[in-house]
Structure 1
Amino acid sequence: MFARLMRAVAFAAIASPALAAQDSIILGMVLEPPNLDPTGGAAAAIDEVVYANLFEGLTRIAPDGSVQPALAESWDISGDGSVYTFRLRPGVTFHDGSAFDAQDVIFTLDRARAPDSTNAQKTLFEGISTVEAIDPHTVRIALKSPDGALPFKLAWGDAVMVEQANIGDIASHPVGTGPFRFGEWKQGDHITLTAYDGYWGEKPALKTATFRFISDPTAAFAAIMAGDIDAFPIYPAPETLAQFQADPRFRVLVGTTEGETILAMNNARPPLDDLRVRKAISHAINRQEIIDGAMFGYGTPIGTHFAPHSPDYIDLTAESQHDPELAKSLLAEAGADRLTLRLALPPTPYARRGGEIVAAELRAVGIDTRITNMEWSQWLEQVFGNADYDLTIISHVEPMDIGIYGREDYYFNYDNPAFREVMAELDAATAPATRSTLLKQAQEIIARDQVNAYLFQLAKTGVARAELQGLWENAPMPANDLTQVRWAE
C-alpha cells in the first residue's frame, strides 16, 4: 500500500510540475511582445505581461473596469475640471531601489507628450498644458480644457510611470514600481518576472511568474493537458473548450473584453475611399458566420467600434446587415464590380481563421483578395505603422478607444471633421449624461460612414487549473494582472 501511495505521489509530481511549487505560475500567451515598453509600443502583448505587474500608473483599471487609485492615493479636481492635483503614495520605490516622486511623474508625462514621443496613444496626453510638482509627493496637472476622463486616460498602460535613469533599457530590461520585477527574457520562448521585495503595497502570493509563448492552438491544448502551462488567459483554441469544461482538473473562464474585432479598411486608398465600396464590403460580411466559423460561437456581433457591455453602446448592426445583393449593386454603382484587394492578416487565430471566411464572403460578391499572413512585428510596421494595406482583421483591445477615429494619421486614414468635433466636445464634457449622448453620436457617425466592417466583440475565453484563483474573468484592459493570483490551499 505504501509503495503504491509513493508511486502515485511521484506520478502526480511529474504530471503536474507547476503544482509542486505553490508560489509560481506559468501562463501561456499566443503572441510574444515585440518589446517591454508599454509607453513606446502598440502591441497589446506588452501590457499583457507588464500592466499592474511590473509597471503602474497614477491610476489603474480594476477587474470590474472601474478606475482606482494606484501610485496616486487620491486626487482633487478644480471646479471647472481643468486642474487635477494628485497626491502620491509615500514610500514607493522603483525596482532599482530609487524613490518614486513627483519628478518621475513630470518626466513620464512630458516624455509621453513630447513632439518626438513614440507613445502609441500620444493623444491621451495632448490635453495636458503643464505638469508641476507642488512638493515631492504632490503633482498638479493643468489641462488646456476640462477633461472628465483624465483619471481614466492615466490608467492606460501607455501612461505608466517610468524612471529617467533606466529609460534607455526599458524595451529589454524594464524597471518599474510594480509587485514584480523583470527576471529574464528568452526570446521566442518565455519571459519571467520575480516578486519585488520592496513593493509598497500588498505583496503578491506568487514569487515567480513565467509567460510562455505558444502561437499554435494545437500546441497550446497539448501544453495545458500535459501540465506544462497552468493557465492560458486568452486561449487560442476555442474548439477544445468543451473538453476542458468536462474535465474537473480545469476551469474555463468566459468573459468579455474591450476587443472590437474589425475588418479594417484603408479609407484613403482607392477604391476604398468610396463610401459605396466600403458599404458593399460591410454588407458582404456575415458576422455570425465568422463568429461560428472562426470563434466557435464565442463573440458578440457589433455594428460600430464600441463594447456591447458598455451602458453607452447602441446596436447599429442593422446599418450593415448581411445583404450580398445590396453589396453587388453598390459595387456596380461605384464601377468597382471587379476588384482585387490585399488582405493582411496578423498571426492571431481569430484573424487567420476569420480571414479565410471573409475572403470567401467577399468573393461571393465579386471581390477577390490576396491574403498575406504576417508575423506580428511585420504587421505592426507595415499595416499599423505605415498604412500599407487595403484590408486587415484586428481586434482593438484598448478600453473606450473610439477616439482613434479622430486621428488623422491613424492607419484607417479616416478624415471626418464632424467626428473630431464630437470628440472635442466629449473631451470637454464632465456631465455623465452629456458624455453618453456624445459617445452615441460618435458611434453613429462611424457606422454611417462605414469606416470599417465591424465584426464582433472578442470574448475572453481562458483555461486554468481548477486550483488557481484570482485570474481576471473579464478583460477591461489587455492585462494579466497577477496581484491577486494564488493557488488554493
Structure 2
Amino acid sequence: MNRKTLVLPAVVGLLAPVLAACGGADSGSGGGDAIVVGTTDRFTATKAAPAPLDPAYAYDVGTWNILRQTVQTLMIVPKGDGDPVPEAAQSCGFTDSGNERYACKLRDGLKFANGDAITAADVKFSIDRARAIKADTGVFALLSTIDTVETQGDNEVIFHLKTADATFPSKLSTPVAGIVNPDDYEKNKLREGFEVDGSGPYTLKAETDGDAITKAVFTKNPNYKGTLKVNNDEVDMVSYDDADAMDTALEKGDIDLMTRTMSPEQIKKLSDAAADSDIDLVELAGLEIRYLAFNTDAPVVKTKAVRQAMAQVINRNELVSQVYGSQAEALYSLVPASVTGHSNAFFNKYSDPSVTKAKALLTEANITTPVKLTLNYTTDHYGPATKQEFELLKKQLNDSGLFDVTVKGTAWDTFAPAERKGEYAVYGMGWFPDFPDADNFLAPFLDKDNTLNSPYTNSEIINKLIPQSRREADRISAGKSLTEIQDIVADDVPILPLWQGKQYVAANTDITGTAYALNSSATLQLWELGRGVSN
C-alpha cells in the first residue's frame, strides 16, 4: 500500500497547520458510517485504580482524551492552539489588577447530555469536588491556586485565588476542571468504572472485556452548546494491544485512522512510501517529552552525585538517533526547546557526555562503583520503542564502568500505581502538557502535591520561583524565574530529561480534518474528523 507524508509546521502559541494534500481539508460533514480510530492506549479499571475516567482522578493523555470529548470545561484551547477561549463560559476574565479574581459567565441554555440544566452551582460542585478528593494522581494540584469558588446567581462563577496565576485560564481548560452532574458524581467519592456524564460534544458508551475498554463509542451530543463544530455523528475508538496490530487494522480497512502510538519503524515506512497513495501520514507539532525520574529517598540514588553522574554519562544524541531518528530530538531541560522560557540547563551544566567527569563526581562523594540500580519502564503506554530506548540507556551507563544497570518493564496498569507508591528508585516517564506553557513542564513535577508523588522538594522553587513566574501575564517576562528553576533542576537532578518528540496520524485519504486531529498538547480532537471525497 502506498502512502504519503504531510508535514504540518507550527509555532507554539500560534499553531497553524497547513495541509497541501487530501485528508486534511475541512470538507467533512456529519452522517455516514462511524469513523473508527485506532489507539494503543489501554483503559482499565483495577483495584488500584478503579475510577480511570473520573475527572477528579484521571491524569494521563489517554484518559484525558476520552474526557475531552465528553466533559465540557469553562475554557478551551482553540483550533490551531493559542490562548484559551471561553467554551462552557460565555465570557471569562480577571477582574482585578493583581490577577487574583477570575470571573466566568456561563452560556445561556447549557445542559448536560441527559437534558439537565447546568448552573453555576454545578461548576462550583465539580471543581470543589476535585480539590477535596485529592486523588493520588495529583491532578488536583492544577487547581491549587484556588482559594474559594463563589457563585452569583445561576450563571456566574467567581474564583478567588490564593496568589496571582496568569496560567489559571489554561488550567480551566483541562479535564480536572470539567463540569459534571452532581446527580451522577458523589461529592467525596470517585466514580468507579467507565461511565462519564457531562456536557461535551459527545456522549460515551464503553464496550468492555473484563476490566478493560475494547471500544469507546462517541456519539454526537444533541444537547451540546459550545464553540466546537462537530463534523461527524459518531467516532469509535478501538484499543489495540500493540502498534503492529493497529497498523494491520488500518491496512485491512478495519479502522480509518491511527494515532498513539505508532512505532518509529512504522512511521519511517509510511514516510518513505510513494506519493500516490490512499493513506496519508500526517506529521504534527508536538510537545511530548520523555525523562527519567528519581525517588530521591531511595538509598541507591539519594546522593545527588549519583544522579548527576547519570546526567553526565547519558548520550541523548545517540539515544535519539539510534531509537527514534528524525522523529525526536535531544532535550536538555524539562521545558521543550520550542516553548517560551526554555533554557538548555542540562547542557550548560554537563556539556557533552563524559565518563571522566562522571567518575570525578562519584569519587568526590565517596560513592563506591559500580553503582547497582534498576531502570523501570512501562511496556505498553509510551510506544513499542520504549524497550529499545531503555536497553540503550542501560548500555550507555554500563559501558561507563560506573554503573551496573538492569532494566525492568511493567504494564501501565501496574506500573503507574507502583510509581506513585515510591516503589521504583529510577523510572522512565513521558509528559504531554496540560497546556503549552513552561509552567506546565515544571510545576507538576516540582510544586507541592506533584504528579509523581516525588519526595524531592526545593523551597526556593515552591515558595518563590513558581509564584513569581505566575505573576507575569507576559510569559516572556517570566523567563528569569523559569531559567532559575531549570538551573536548580539541572544541579539537583530529581528528573533527567531525555528527548522531545513529534506527533503523527495515519489516515485514509477520505478522512478530513486530520490537520487538527491532535493539538500540540496531544489532545485528540475527534470533532474535527469527517468524511470527504478522496483525491
In the superposition, the TM-score normalised over structure 1's length comes to 0.90
| Amino acid corresponding to residue 438 of structure 1 in structure 2 | S
Alignment correspondent of 2:160: 142
1:438 maps onto 2:459 in alignment: no
Q: Does residue 181 of the first structure (1) align with residue 216 of the second (2)?
A: no
- Sort the Cα spacing of 1:87 and 1:43 in 2 relative to 1 into closer, same or farther, 3 A: same
The SS at the match of 2:183 is helix
Q: Flag the 1:203–1:452 CA change in 2: closer, same or farther, 3 A.
A: closer
User: 2:329 is matched with which residue?
Assistant: 300
Alignment partner, residue 58 of structure 2: 41
State the match for 2:427 in structure 1: 392
2:253 to 224, 227, 240: 227
Residue 525 (structure 2) aligned to one of 476, 481, 484: 481
Residues 426-483 of structure 1, C-alpha deviation per residue, up to 9 Å, x if partnerless? 2334344432322222222212222222110122122122222223365333321112
Contact 2:73 2:175 in 1 (8 A): yes
Q: Does 1:67 align with 2:84?
A: yes
Aligned to 2:47: none
Q: Equivalent residue of 2:336, what SS?
A: coil
Q: Structure 1 residues 307, 473: closer, same or farther in 2, change over 3 A?
A: farther
1:373 aligns with 2:409: yes
What is the aligned partner in structure 2 of residue 382 from structure 1? 418
Could you tell me which runs of 5 or more consecutive residues in structure 1 were left unpaired when the two chains were aligned.
1-20
AA at the equivalent of 1:412? S
TM-score normalised to structure 2 length: 0.82
Tell me: higher relative CO, structure 1 or 2? Use CA pairs within 8 A at least 6 residues apart. 2
| Structure 2 match to 1:351 | 386
CA distance in structure 1 between the partners assigned to 2:523 and 2:406 by the alignment: 33
Write out aligned runs for 1:164-243 (5 A): 164-167=182-185, 169=191, 171-186=193-208, 187-201=212-226, 204-243=230-269
- Structure 1, 231-240 or 163-172: larger mean CA deviation: 163-172
Mapped contact 1:38–1:46 kept (Cα < 8 A): no
CA distance in 2, matches of 1:85, 1:241: 45
- Using the TM superposition, give the Cα deviation of residue 181 of structure 1 relative to its aligned residue in structure 2, in angstroms: 0.1
Letter aligned with residue 259 of structure 1:
E
> Is 1:56 aligned to 2:100, yes or no?
no
Task: Give the letter for the 2:499 counterpart.
Answer: F
CA separation of 1:203/1:217 partners in 2, compared to 1, >3 Å: closer, same or farther? closer
> Pick from 296, 305, 308: which aligns with 1:279?
308
Which position in structure 1 is the counterpart of 2:368? 336
Match of 1:158 in 2: 176
CA distance, structure 2, for counterparts of residue 466 and residue 482 of structure 1: 16
Residue 402 of structure 1 corresponds to which residue in structure 2?
A: 442
- 1:259–1:458 CA contact under 8 A, matched in 2: yes
**1:91-110 → structure 2 map (5 Å cutoff):** 91-110=109-128
In the alignment, the residues of structure 2 paired with residue 361 and residue 242 of structure 1 have an alpha-carbon distance, to the nearest angstrom, of: 25
Return 125-134 or 429-438, whichever deviates more: 429-438
The 1-side partners of 2:517 and 2:219 are apart by 23
Match of 1:419 among 448, 455, 461: 461
Which ranges of structure 2 fall in alignment gaps of 5 or more residues? Answer: 1-30, 45-51
Displacement of 1:158: 1.9
Judging changes above 3 Å, is the alpha-carbon distance between structure 1 residues 167 and 115 closer, same or farther for their aligned structure 2 residues?
closer
> Is the 8 Å Cα contact of residues 104 and 156 (structure 2) preserved in structure 1?
yes
Q: Which amino acid counterpart does residue 339 of structure 1 have in structure 2?
A: V
2:42 corresponding residue in structure 1:
32
How many residues align? The count is: 468
Stretch moving more, 412-421 or 176-185: 412-421
2:300 is paired with a residue whose SS is coil
Percent of residue pairs identical:
21
CA-CA distance at 1:238 after TM superposition: 2.0
State whether residues 288 and 521 of structure 2, in contact with CA within 8 Å, keep that contact through their aligned partners in structure 1.
Answer: no
DSSP-derived class of the 2:424 partner: coil
Return the alpha-carbon distance in structure 1 between the equivalents of residues 497 and 395 of structure 2: 17
Q: Deviations over 1:238-297 (max 9, x none)?
A: 212233232511111222323221011222222312221111111221112221233233
Q: 1:171 to 1:66 in 2, by over 3 A?
A: farther
In the alignment, is the contact (CA less than 8 A) between 2:149 and 2:157 conserved in 1?
A: yes
Deviation at 1:412, TM superposition (A): 3.5
Taking a change above 3 Å as real, the CA distance of residues 116 and 315 of structure 1, as seen in their structure-2 partners, is: closer
Displacement after TM superposition at 1:350 (Å): 3.9
Identify which range, 440-449 or 386-395, moves more after superposition. 440-449
8 Å Cα contact 1:95/1:196 also seen in 2: yes
Instruction: Report the CA distance between 1:234 and its aligned residue.
Output: 2.5
Change in CA separation of 1:117 and 1:380 when aligned onto 2, cut-off 3 Å? closer
Q: The residue matched to 1:100 in structure 2 has which SS?
A: coil
| Letter of the 2:112 counterpart | F
Q: One-letter code of the match for 2:197?
A: V
Moved more, 354-363 or 182-191: 182-191
1:171 shift after superposition: 4.2
Change (3 A) 1:223 1:324: farther
Q: Hey, what's the Cα distance between the residues in 1 that align with 2:207 and 2:441? A: 30
RMSD over equivalenced CA pairs, Å? 2.2
